[in-house]
Amino acid sequence: MKALTLFEKKVYTVVKSIPVGETRTYAWVARKVGRPRAVRAVGTALRKNPFTLIVPCHRVVRSDGSIGRYALGADLKKRLLEIEYAGRDKRKVKKIR
């Protein structure tokens, strides 16, 4: 596995801090890592994420509110977000099962 860049490490650290059931934008992540204009670079770093079970890149969405891309497919990204959101509201969990 290729070594991570400092930028990628910062992106993954910030994304790990996003709470379950919540989303943040690529622009938000870029601001948090101190590179507010590096929105595309954030997307690139997340696309290369080798830690998908640890770094929840599916919680990062586009600024216009659309789902954006996901290395494992946009449909899976949407489903993961739905499951996490439902987990925050016990009444909705029963509907999903």
- Looking at 1-97, which runs of residues are DSSP E strands? 24-25, 60-61
State whether residue 59 is helix, strand or coil: helix
Specify whether 57 is catalytic: yes
Closest CA to 26 of 68, 55, 61: 61
- Among candidate residues 57, 60, 61, 81, the one labeled active-site is 57
Cα 76 to Cα 61: distance, rounded to the nearest angstrom: 13
Indicate which residues carry an active-site annotation.
Answer: 57
